Structure 1
Amino acid sequence: MPISSEASRSFHRFLGLHAFLTGLFPFFIPVYLWRQGHDAGQISLFIAITGTGFVLSLVLWDRIRTRLPFHQLIALTFLVEILLLSAVFLEGENGFLLLFGLLNGAYNCFFWITQRALFLETLALGDTGRKVGNFQIFVMVMLKLGIFSGGLLLDVGGYPWLFLFSVLIAGSGLLSFQLRQVPQPAALQQMPPLSPRTVFGFRDSHGSRTVFLLDGPFLFLESYFWAITLFLLAHQSFWRLGLLVIVLGLIFSLLFWLIKNRIDHLPVQRVYRIAVGGYALSWLLRLLVDRPLATGWLFLLLVLITFATSFFRLAFNKRFFDIARQSGRHRYLLLKSYWSQAAIAVAFLGMALVSTGLAEGTRLLELGYLLAALAAPFYLLYRPPR
């Protein structure tokens, strides 16, 4: 059953605030670390710590969700983000990457798990593709507004001004959810915490576990590694990076709007296979962006990469939520997070170790893109629900 209209409004309020806050600074974390002198190997280590922090935080989240009112669980996401933002002032101190990575993992956990748990409750039979499409467009708009504001503040005012603005927004969000409480999804409240035996013993007929392991590292290749590549194209300017991402996002939205309302009526498996093929190609195209190309060709290349990636995410998320709806909803969501984040920790620890043998930091980015192109076809192992 879908949640009430009041809860649906609360979901969009929560999602809008956090998407905007994510654009203000968490989006810039990889390029901020790069600007501060951390190379790709150190950033890979940071990602591995982030994955570890996510898993540890998920164990905690899974146990407190049945004990705390849902508005307090939401409030915790804002508090964790304020802690994450505060930790940036420790940059240069011993143990900074460890603390910052663990807090980043905690922030990702509390935000994404809470948000997806609420989103699952809004789904009705037969409209998953449309709902996922609307969801992605809404996130994109709010995220891009945050990115524009964050890039401008970082380049013009510096981090202290961005910190004050972010804390003001987060504090306002925290207060708003304390004043207007959110009903907790009944299915989430009634479900017992997952045991280690349940997590390690998870298997199904859809090939979910294999794809969960695969998907985790891809999420950070798409976000952190790709953000660094775009940052270098933007001559290491936060504002130019933000503007570039916004322009690509606007073009993507126009194309995406034409697809999202039709995806529920198209042949499911054919759409998914095309999306996976385009996704694999997008990783090969990423290897070309630092070549000496004319501006027009480079921009076309970036648009193709953005569209192929977003189309794949629409098809993949539709399949994920279709299966989740038939496979215990919230249980499936938590299992995905455990396996994907564990894979992130292991894969990027390996990348950090490999980086010690590479002469240039950007070589690690290229290696990541090449491995992604080779691994992307394995998404075809994800079988649709019957």
Structure 2
Amino acid sequence: MALPHSTRLFYRFLGLHSFLIGLFPFFIPVFLWKHDYSLAQISSFIAITGVGFVLTLWIWDRMHKTLPLNTLIATSFLVESALLAMIFIEGSPGFLPLLALLNGAYNCFFWITQRALFFETLGETDTGRRFGNFQVVVVIIIKMGVLFGGLLLDKAGYWSVFLLSSFIGVLGMTSFFLLKEPMELPRTLREEAPLSLKMILEFKDSHHSRSIFLLDGPFLFLESYFWMISLFLLAHESFWKLGALVILLGAGFSALFYLIKNRIDHMPVQRIYIIAATGYSLSWFMRATVDENLPLGWLFAILLIITFCTSFFRLAFNKRFFDLAQHTSAHRYLFLKSYYSQFSIALGFSLAAIAFTLSQGHSETLLRFSYLAAGLFAPLFLLYRSRPG
């Protein structure tokens, strides 16, 4: 059965950007690490990325009322190209904050557009399965990009990554501009008034959403930046070995994850969420034990368990998130999540940057301390209620 035209365009957008993310943005934390940026500086980078996301979301929420979706998608490719071009001024004054602002802008254009389009594909009773399918597609394509990106960075240098990414970006932008009919975001989204500062600050519900959104923000970058640095150290600071390790871990749990994501909509919702959140908390304590001196088989088993627990939690968490979005304020709920999560990223990693600067501790010790702290805070995700209470 052929997919609807709008769904095909969504997956084209998703596929192109997922591959581009794998080629280089995926490697940003380890690229900075490789160029001798400290954990405090990388934390500052993350904090400014959060600021860039919030500022861009404020603009995006007003742009999409008047501009066709084609233009927003084209802008996302342009911002990604600008992000990549910034790498050529590495070492110059202002490089890190400018790169971080562009990183936040690109994250916003990709993730907000993608979430808004994905939300429209959901049915009433299959959010878990659909998000699982979506997650599988994203992971597979990003991993393909990671494989190419890692090899190119190690064997051919950054110029090769920049040229390939630019070529794909131009092709993607052109393919959307040449569509016979302009693409539009869902009418329900276009008709909603932009969120005002007052509406954002006054948001509160009986599901503890605001607290959970604030909690979740820092965890996203602990997963994608700090943990990636730890894996990079295990891979002896090789980009292609990191890519191979990430792909190997993904392949190791994919079959089990595929079975779970097809059944999660029919499982006891609260029980599954409790199991997922508990496993997620334990995974952070396991991260703190990871060391290259562990026996290889034991080390790989730990990494597999961490990967599975993280993916399983994200599946259960996002099922709850999209279920609540469907039954509350729809797209507005998606935007509120981003505002609160990105604000907590900006605040949390600003404090982390200060703490790391003052501590003068060894980076690997600071990473382990961060994982232990995350393990202590992760049980708070259990406060996220599927029903008012």
Letter in 2 for 1:238: F
Matched to 1:147, the amino acid is V
Q: Where does residue 217 of structure 1 map in the other structure?
A: 218
Task: Quote the Cα distance in structure 1 between the aligned partners of 2:304 and 2:231.
Answer: 12
Corresponding position of 1:73: 72
Corresponding position of 1:346: 347
Higher mean C-alpha displacement, 307-316 vs 288-297? 288-297
- Per the alignment, residue 89 of structure 1 pairs with 88
| Kept after mapping to 1: 8 A contact 2:212/2:381 | yes
Where 1:94 maps in the other structure, the secondary structure is coil
Q: Structure 1 segments of 4 or more deviating over 4 A?
A: none
Q: TM-score, normalised by structure 1?
A: 0.98
- State the match for 2:257 in structure 1: 256
Aligned to 2:144: 145
How far is 1:360 from its partner? 1.2
Give a deviation string over 1:129-163, Cα, whole Å, max 9, x none. 10010000000000000000000000001001110
Q: Give a deviation string over 1:186-207, Cα, whole Å, max 9, x none.
A: 1111111000000000001110
Distance 1:252 1:193 in 2: 41
Distance (Å, rounded) in 1 between the aligned partners of 2:254 and 2:376: 28
Counterparts of 2:261 and 2:377, CA distance in 1: 26
Identity %: 59
Q: CA deviation at 1:5?
A: 1.4
8 Å CA contact 1:40, 1:362 repeated in 2: no
Distance (whole Å) between structure 1 residues aligned to residue 38 and residue 161 of structure 2: 24
Question: Structure 1 residue aligned with 2:365, among 317, 340, 363?
Answer: 363
CA distance in 2, matches of 1:195, 1:250: 43
Contact 1:15 1:139 in 2 (8 A): yes
1:178 corresponds to = 177
Q: CA deviation at 1:82?
A: 0.4
Which stretch shifts more, 107-116 or 350-359?
Answer: 350-359
Deviates more, 1:210-219 or 1:245-254: 245-254
Q: Would the aligned equivalents of 2:288 and 2:369 in 1 still touch at CA under 8 Å?
A: no
Task: Note the 1:1-386 alignment, pairs <5 A.
Answer: 5-180=4-179, 181-290=182-291, 292-356=293-357, 357-385=359-387
Name stretches of at least 5 consecutive residues in structure 1 with no aligned partner: none
User: Which whole-Å CA distance do the structure 2 matches of 1:170 and 1:367 have between them?
Assistant: 39
The separation in 1 between residues aligned to 2:273 and 2:35, in whole angstroms, is 40
Distance between the aligned counterparts of 1:359 and 1:114, measured in 2? 40
Q: Distance in 2 between matches of 1:255 and 1:232?
A: 28
CA contact (8 A) 1:152 1:238 kept: yes
Tell me the TM-score normalized by structure 2.
0.97
Deviations along 1:16-58, whole A, 9 cap, x unmatched? 1111100000000000000001011110000000001000111
CA deviation vs aligned residue, 1:68-93 (integer Å, no higher than 9, x gap): 00111111111100000000111100
Q: Secondary structure at the match of 1:38?
A: coil
Report deviation, 1:321.
Answer: 0.3
AA paired with 1:310? S
**Distance in 2 (alpha carbons) for counterparts of 1:47 and 1:359:** 19
1:331 maps to amino acid: R
Contact preservation (8 Å) 1:128, 1:321? yes
Contact 1:280 1:374 in 2 (8 A): yes
CA contact (8 A) 1:41 1:361 kept: no
| Inter-partner Cα distance in structure 1 for 2:84 and 2:378 | 33
Do 1:10 and 1:182's aligned partners in 2 also have CA atoms closer than 8 Å? no
Runs (5+) with no aligned partner, structure 2: none
Aligned partners of 2:134 and 2:387: how far apart in 1? 21
Distance (Å, rounded) in 2 between the aligned partners of 1:292 and 1:156: 27
TM-fit CA distance, 1:291: 5.7
Q: Once the 2 structures are TM-superposed, how far is the Cα of residue 359 of structure 1 from its aligned partner?
A: 2.3
Distance in 2 between residues matched to 1:135 and 1:385, nearest whole Å: 25
Distance 1:184 1:323 in 2: 21
| 1:252 CA displacement | 2.1
How far 1:361 moved relative to its partner? 1.8
Q: Does the CA contact (< 8 Å) of 1:7 and 1:183 recur in 2? A: no
Q: Quick check: 1:41–1:364 contact (8 Å CA) kept in 2?
A: no
Looking at structure 2, the residues matched to 49 and 15 of structure 1 have their Cα atoms a distance apart, in angstroms, of 25
CA contact (8 A) 1:282 1:304 kept: yes
Contact 2:234 2:292 in 1 (8 A): no
